[in-house]
A = this chain, B = another copy of it.
């Protein structure tokens, strides 16, 4: 633990123990710097990390204050996972999830769609229309297998924000992050191989492992710091693990950012056991802190990290424009790209080039990051208000997804069935586990909140949870 983390821990404990009550002004940066014998920037960093955990609020020109949120919900527990690789189940549940999100009138709290109604997306419509009318008809042709060079140049530039200095040659455009993950998995694994995953983990990646005949080994994961390095090391000693697949930044579903030192420790472990890391960074640009956290990929110096991402969460999923930075596995990844779709649709790629080049991507990011961070507070408050006491909720540091852990008695599949006639859908927890754990958990989306519709929906979900608690 480094200095700022230590200081943040000390201050955090004092706040949680009530030594500094809600709303109270906290010691100034200079005071703490003197008191603890650390630099001003270390104190600032500590305060920022407490802000990320909603313990502290910064007020312009006044300093730092203890958060006035009535009480902070408890964090989800770190789950005991099966200590062996398992065949992945839950496909039927995932399919149910996919199917019901498109039922007309459904309040799809369980979906992974960002807010697509913002005016900051308008320039994209114009870019799409302009590309469609280009006289060279470029949108009708196959692009090269790696995807548009112009787009890869732009993505390489964007990746500087996450600490990577990458050449466009080392990127391959894909049909969304789904195809990137699919390519990554097939580039490093074969049928029967074991892949270690964070837990809870993105169901799409796990279903991909399932579809290609691999087994998942779930590793206990902390809701604030991410996958347990210690548990992972034990697993690596015990099993012939081929790769680690995880979402370390703006995790889906928990929302944490793994601290840099833990990302580096993970990488060292992968080097030590000579295995690959498949890093899903699809929500990474939606981190509430600026600059956004570094990727594991950015620390990698021997090409073992395959970074997978897309514009599906930051811009729009319907574009199906993603990418993979496959490191040393480039040749294999190109072959896998060829046999999965041949090429990526041309027009959305060309439109994204314009959208980024003209500065609209960064402007849109600023807009949604603010909105999502604000909505998080609103949604957390609704959950605290309407759900039974003892509910545990995640503390996302980016993205637009909240993880909720209910009493062990509650089965969220049953809850979802009860909610169906009321046209409300949540994502049931068990799809986020290879072994069907998290039956008492759910994931909800707070990208776009309508005070009427969504507040009513959360209230209704809360009431149904109360009823289930009472009826046992």
Contact = CB atoms under 8 A, between A and B. Distances in A.
Contact of A340 (B113, B178, B318, B345): B178
A252 to B, nearest CB: 14
Interface residues of chain A: helix, strand, loop or mixed (majority):
helix
Contacts of A142: 102, 113, 317-318
Interface stretch (A131-139, A256-264, A458-466): A131-139
Contacts of A345: 175, 318-320, 345, 348
B335 A207 contact: yes
Contacts of A342: 175-176, 178-179, 204, 320
A142 B208 CA distance: 19
Nearest to A143: B318
Given A191-B191, A318-B346, A343-B176, A338 B137 contact: no
Interface in A136-175: 137-145, 174-175
Given A318-B140, A335-B91, A340 B341 contact: yes
A344 to B, nearest CB: 7
A106 interface: no
Contacts of A316: 139-141
A150 to B, nearest CB: 14
A116 interface: yes
A108 to B, nearest CB: 11
Interface in A297-353: 316-320, 334-336, 338-348, 351
A95 interface: yes
A469 interface: no
Nearest to A101: B142
B98 A145 contact: yes
A210 B336 CA distance: 10
A358 to B, nearest CB: 16
Interface stretch (A25-33, A121-129, A366-374, A436-444): A121-129
A290 to B, nearest CB: 25
Contact of A141 (B116, B126, B174): B116
Given A125-B132, A132-B125, A141 B318 contact: yes
A99 interface: yes
Contacts of A341: 174-176, 178-179, 182, 320, 340-341
Contacts of A317: 140-142, 343
A21 interface: no
Q: How large is the interface on A (under 10, 10 to 19, 20 to 34, 35 or more residues)?
A: 35 or more
A174 B94 CA distance: 19
Contacts of A129: 128-129, 132-133
B139 A128 contact: yes
Nearest to A179: B341
A334 B302 CA distance: 37
A401 B424 CA distance: 53
A178 B345 CA distance: 12
A186 interface: yes
A212 B335 CA distance: 11
A388 interface: no
A238 interface: no
A117 interface: yes
A339 B211 contact: yes
Nearest to A206: B339
Interface in A93-121: 94-95, 98-99, 102, 113, 116-117, 121
B336 A318 contact: no
Interface in A28-45: none
Given A142-B317, A318-B141, A98 B338 contact: yes
B343 A207 contact: no
A137 B113 contact: no
Interface of A: 91, 94-95, 98-99, 102, 113, 116-117, 121, 124-126, 128-129, 131-133, 137-145, 174-176, 178-179, 182, 186, 190-191, 204, 207-208, 210-213, 316-320, 334-336, 338-348, 351
15 contacts: A91-B335, A95-B334, A116-B137, A125-B137, A128-B128, A141-B316, A175-B175, A175-B342, A175-B345, A176-B342, A182-B340, A186-B211, A204-B342, A207-B339, A340-B341
